[in-house]
Each structure stands twice: as C-alpha cells, then as structure tokens.
Structure 1
C-alpha cells in the first residue's frame, strides 16, 4: 500500500502484506480477431461522452503539480486509450483477385492475353503488394509483380477505400480489374458499412484454351480392353455388359412402318419397315416391294446396326474419341421423324406387339396415322423468264424440248378475226404539257392480239409523226399476261413499253364490233346498259323514272344536253363507265351531244 501524501523516498513507503501476486499486468490481448489493449478504464464501443472524457484526460495540462511540487501523472498513462492503426490492424491484409490485359503483337493465334493477379493491401501501413501466380510452361516471368510499398495515385496514395469488387484500379499506368475477394475482406468492408458487389468471372482467352489442349490427358480407348485382357489372362471372368439385356429382351423386336418422301425427279413416297431389336438397341430397315413402279428393289435399306442421331464422319472411326448418341425406343414413337443418313423417315404405324409393349412397359398408347398413298411425284423444272430475244412462244420451245418445233398459231382465232382491226383514239398520260397534247391511234388486231400505235401530228409542231410502236404482242405489266380484246374499252389505260395511253374514243367499226359481241363486251351492249340503269329502281320503276325527270330542268324542253341526263341519273347513285356513256350516246344522239328526253324515257321504260 502506498500513500499519495508521502514522498517517494526510502523509508517512506512499505509493502502491502495482503498482496500475493507480483506478475506484470498484461497490456495487450486479441478480441474479435483484433489486437486491443487489456484495460478496465476504456473499452471500444462505449458512448461518445466516454471518448471525450478520455481525450480530455489525456490532453490535460501536465504542468499540474502535486502538493510536494512534483508533476502528477495520470494513472495507467503508459497504456494508450485508443489503439493506433499499426496496433489495431496488425497483420490484417485485404486480399483481392483480379487481372490486367496485355497486348500480344505479331502472333496469329492471339492478340491479347489475360494475366491473373492477386492484390494484397496491408491495413497497418496502407501498403500494397501485387503478385502473379505462376503458370507451368507459360514462358512469362511471373511471381512478384509489384513490391510492397505505398502506391501513389493522383492525390496521395492508395487507401483501402479505393479498392472494391468489379472496380478498375490504375497502378503505374496499368489498369487492374478486380473481380473477387476473400471472406475476410468482405467481412472487413461490411464492418465499415460498405457492401461489396458479387464476384465476376475471368474473360475467355485463346491462351487458356491452348494450354488446356496441351495439358489434356485422357486414357486411350483401348485401355479398358487391355485391362480386360489382363484380367482374363490371370484367370478372371470375361465381363459381359449386355448379358442382362440379351437374356431379358432376346427375340423381342419392335416393328414400325415408315415412309420417306423422295423429292428427286423420279421420286415419290417410298415405304419401309423399321425393326428395332431390344436386346442390343440395333436398328435395321427393310424396303417394302411395290409392283410396277419401275424401281429396282433392294432387300435392305440399312443393315442391322446402331444408328446415331448425329453421325460423326471421320476417316478413322475406331480412333474417334467423341461419343455418339444413338436412337432408342423412346425416339421411335408414331408421328416422330427419324433422320438416318440424310433421309427423314416418318413413322406412321407399328404392329400389335409394339403397341402392347409400349402400353405395358411405358404406358404410352400408340395410334396409327392415316397416310394417303398417291402416285409418284414428278418434280417439274421451273421455266426461266423471257430474255427479250424473239417471241416468248418461240423461246419457250427451247426450254421444253431439245429439238424445238415452231409455235403453232391458233388458226380458229385467225379465221374468225381476220381482217378485224379495232382502232382507238388515245392520249399519252405524262407530266409534260407537250406530251399531253399529242394524239395517237392505237390499232388492236384480234387475230393474233398484236398492237400497233401511230402518232398524228400537226404541221410545225416539231414532232415527227408516223409509226410510234411496231406491231407486236404486249403484256399487261400488272397481270403479266398478253392484252386481250376485252381490255380495250373507252376510258381504260393501256401501258405499252412504259408509255401509258388513255383510250378516249374509237371509230364506228370498233363500236359495231363490240355491239355485235354483247357477251364479250357487256359495256357496249345497249340493252345491258338500260337494264343496269333500271336496276337502281327495282322497288318502283315508274317512280324511278319520275325521279329522273324531276332532276331535269323543265325549261330545257324535250331536247336536252346529254350531260344533263348523266347528271340527273348520277343524283340517283347511277354511275356509268365511259364506254357505257359512249355506247348510249350513239343510240340517242341527235347531233351536238343533244338527246330527246321522250326517246330516253320510252327506252328505259321498255327495257
């Protein structure tokens, strides 16, 4: 026991008789993985008022003196109240995993390389250490990449706050990508209130794939055969893996009816029988013979063998290390297609034993499909488009026959329509004013459907008249068929070699030609036009005629302009084509486009 009132001189203090332990007080201890001090005066995690009190006590003026004039030293002053960084984070290291990308020049196999690194940051002095794990036979100097020291950045040095998962960090001109960290690093960041992102994988590179192929080791395929040979030689039994399947499924064959649609020139539907052997999972295909087909019959399309789903073609099948997937009974269901060596076989039926086997063992009900067995399918050769030389009928003869014949004309059509020429007055549809004033005569020859166009010019117009288009057959650009005589009506547009002609009028001979053929030209038939007009007054024809007369001004008298009559029926929703208007005017015209209303009334009434 010592007194604070007595000076510390010999003879002024004495020993405590109750004290039995004279060991030194342990100042440091490890708590929660951290090096801390062992003191009862301060513990981390206390309130802020305790920390302020300790700071005030540590910063207290040390010039205070005791009653004897000596400075007063706080009790337990040698033990630090707050542990320093070098003590608190002693041997604490943050470990990150990352990589940086290195360019590879003049190498045809790769243009960049991914170099994996381990970045360790020491918390006690904020130093960083980067190492690269060594890869066997890489040919690259590996190991310590950056020695342990403080790595500078733009402002100061790298701190632990600069690190994180899925973050890029620049060190001496190289950009390191951090992809993951260890469990201690995640716990430390979580204690500091920082949540790290999840890990990411290394990018793929050609170098790793190359090294995998170089270091790839696999036992040869005949190693198992060598082991079996040695076991039999030493007296062991010969293993038979398929013995159980053979004993339980011997003489059990699933039979299916399949067909193949042959799309070749002399192809068609070909029918086969597919047999699947349950003992060894082999397949054979037999061709079903059909009489009078003209085809050679072969007993077997495919010999008994295991059929792969995707065959691997190799010059040395026995040395192939790739495994093939073979067809089994689950793939052979009715309605499925089996691809066997470039042939798609459709399963449409099976026998009774196969249906019962699927029902009893797998619970699958097989239902037959109805197949229409038609004749042989002949693939027709496509006809190429006309190249523009000669007529199309003459050119197509070279396509259909090796020794073509001259095209035969329709003699009946020539005899019936010989000497008939349909002439129309037409105008050229164009955006140019000078072209719109030009006049043409279009001649259509029904005997061979040919067309010829002349141009009528006025003197001093600057346009050369005469033949505009040579006589020949033209196709309708919209229907891709030759123009027929029923398409030539007043008001229609005819397109000839990118020239559009509007048929404005026709001569008297053309009118008579169309009127003599009312079945072919109903718009030129006088009776058909009258019936069309009266069809709009089906309920009461007399009232309909009275409505037409009411729409005509009485002051005009009996002889009225033809245009007034058209306007009167148009008010009753009666619309006539240009050809019908021209054909009707021919019957009623009294000159100068004047018609007699009584004549028109009687004609409509008697229609």
Structure 2
C-alpha cells in the first residue's frame, strides 16, 4: 500500500524548498555560443555532481564568549610574515639574482593582503608598497579562489600575482593565531645572501684604498641685497630653486601677540616748527615692527595722521645693498630718553604709557633699563665720595626729617652727581620708591556701593567665604593676611572691580592683616543691609584710580630713606 503524497509522508526533497532559481550556464561572446557557468551551482543553489563548495570568505572561528561578527571581532588584527623573492638583474658580469626582502601582511577583518618592501639606502630600485591591500587570488588552477589565513605557513613558497615569495618567519601573534587554527608551523627559514648587493659594496668601498678625510665645505657666499622685497624673501631665492617663505617664531607669536609698547616722542631738530611736533611711537612685540602716528594739534598748521606705516626699521649706519643680515630696532632699544632714527629724522622718546612701564618692569631680565637691581648696582658702584655726597644732599633736601623728597628733587640730584643713569632708569627708580597717597574715601558710602554691586550680581555666597577665611585662620585670631584674603575673594568670584576691591581691603586692614569678621559683616547685604545709593556716588567710586597705578609727577613723594638702605646693602 503506497503512502499518500502529503507533507511528512514522502521522501521528496523538493518539499519545503523555497529557492528554485537556475544559474545561467550559457552565453554569447562575439556572436558565438559559449558555456560560461561550468562552476555555477544547479537549481536553487544546490551543487551539481562533482562540484565542491568554495567559500568566498574565510570562516574564522568566533571568539569565546563573544557573539560579534568576525569582521568586528578581528578588527585591526593583522598577521605579519617576513619573506623574500628573487629577481634577475643585468650586471657587468651578466645576469645575476638579487634577493629582496619584504613584509607580507594579512588582515583578518576582510581577508586582504599587502606586501611592503622596506626602504633601503643607496639603491636605485623602486621600494615601498609592492602589492597594495587587496584580496589576492590563488595561482592556477584555483584562480577563482583567494588566499585565506590557513593557506599561510613559514618556510614555504607562495605565488602572488605570478611572483614567487618565500616566507621565512612570522611574529609571535601570528604564530599563536595559526596554532589556534590548527596550522602546524614549519621551522623558520633564513634569507640567503644577496650576491648583487655584496658585489655592489665591494665596488663602491674597496678595502685596499682607505677613505679620504672629509673635505670641509667652504661657507656659501650670498649675493648682496638688490632692494626688491624684504631681505628674508630675497635670501630664500638664493638658497634653493623652490623658495620657501621665512619661518615665523610661533612661540613669540603666542606669548607676545597684541602686546604693544607706546612712547611719546619729539623730533630732534633746530627747526622751531618741527621741534614742537608730538608723535606717538608704537612698537609691536609680536614682529618687532614700529608705527609712528602724529596727533592733530590745533592751530599748528601741520596735518596730523600716520607718519610711518607699521614696518621694521633698520638701525642707522648700515649699508643697504650688502650680503650681511640687517640689524633692526629691538625692544631693548626703546626706552624713555632713547633716540631713534626713522625716515632720516632723529626722534627722542620723552615718555611712555603705564602699560609700557609695567611690562618692562615685569620683564626686567629682558629690559636692562627697567631692572631695579641693575640700577641699584650702578649706584653702588659709584665712588665713595659721590655716595657720601648723595646722602648729604638727600638729607639737606628734607629739612623736616620726614624721610621723603619730591621726585623732581631726586632727579635733579642724580643729574647733578652725574650718576650715568638714563631718563628711563631714573623714572623706574622713582616708581620703585614712590609713595602714593590714596584719597580718603567715605567708608559707609563704599560699603553701600559694594553691596549694591553684589545685589545686582546676585552674589550671596557669604557662608562659603566665611568658612574659607576661618579655615585660613589657624591661630583663631580673627585676622589673616591681605594676600590670602584677596585670594579667597578671587576664588569665590566676588564680582567687584579691582579698584573697589582694593579700597575694601584697605578699609579693614589692621597693620598687615585683614579683620575678616568685620570684612564679612560689611559686605553681607542679607544680614547688614546698607542704605541705597545714588548712581552718581557709584560712578564717583568706580573711577577712583587703583593703588597699583604708579604715575609719577614732579611732586610725587619718594621715600629716600628706603633708597639709602638699599644702597648700603
């Protein structure tokens, strides 16, 4: 009795099958019918009789405990082999073989290969990448397949694009990986000696003749400057066929960008009109350029404006058309009292702005004219007779025995004794020992303005500030140094202008310390609210000059007693 032709009761393999496509085995080429699909599968992708399964990609084992795909799990993992190949080179003695070493890399993520030959010196052969990264087909008769990881082994030959490579060794990672795949590695091989390179070395460096001593190269003479462009650009055209732009000092650009030294100057001339003209000389530290501007003066009859565009200025006394590098004005050449030769005119620097004085004093190692230590050393090196006369004249200039004299008196005394100090050095000396009297300020009004500032900025972190101040007070005296108090104010981001903060600290200064309890009580607008203030009072306090400003006038008070103490050290 036969079984019914129903699912589950028949041996028909076609039951449940969904793919019934047919591979194309025949095609026309140049009008001729040809069989082009002898290796293609049958209906539905099933292998025909005598066909074998040929995978397109390597079936690498998955990592233990990982469900990632192979191309993700083996990302950036490469098998590295050392190999060599031989090629025929036509030499003087006929044809001979040259041995060329190379590296074979097999990328596990996509089964691609790359062959790279390391660069060697003193060879005219093209080197570098020998075979670009790609899938390399196997030699015939398996040219329809590609090399995979299990095809590799050491001390064996591989044919890559009709060239025979001999694999000699591999790295430890490659050895461990192939062992896990079940590949039994052969013993490492050696690279044979290269007869071509050996013969080349014997000819280029014979043993019989010793190498002559190196001949010193004479200095390269440069032609003189021809006047076109800048000296650096003209010099770059003489150093090579392809001129390169001059290199910029990047470190100087980073540290001195937007830093300008500004001086007031006059022309040294006998012309009464030109001698009254005022100029502003700006020196840009980023590229050592100078700009000169003449402010407009009413009823002078001279049009002001730009006198010199921003450019580097050569020092006088130099030939223009010469091969020697030019010398330009440097920052150290500019100071109060110095002379500059610009556009065939002599300028004398009369004064500088506060930023210039401050910058030169902060960088006193770079500016000798602003170095207080150097100035005091000059005074100490004077003969003892001059020092004794200086002490005597300073004492006579202070009949009230207050320890102070005016800057005008100090300057006249130094000029009279011929102390060999420039105008800038005398100004720096006066700034160093000058005592400024700050105008008396209304304490309640300042506290009211400060509280108004804090209310506008919505600042109320008073408890945090008090905790920080109490932590710094290790002796529990209720006072800490001014420097520590200022640091805590900055760290707490107290939103006050610098001049108001200076006045606030001076208000609660006791000796060299701050009464921080009274300080916090004065600014705490939540517990000790001050009366409201008018906008005019706020503006009056905002524009009071800070104590850090050290502007000298002839009537400025100089503490000469402190100066004498420094001279006797």
The interval holding the TM-score normalised by the smaller chain is 0.3 to 0.5
RCO comparison, higher one (Cα < 8 Å, 6+): 2
The structure richer in helix per residue is 2
Q: TM-score, normalised by structure 2?
A: 0.38
Q: TM-score, normalised by structure 1?
A: 0.36
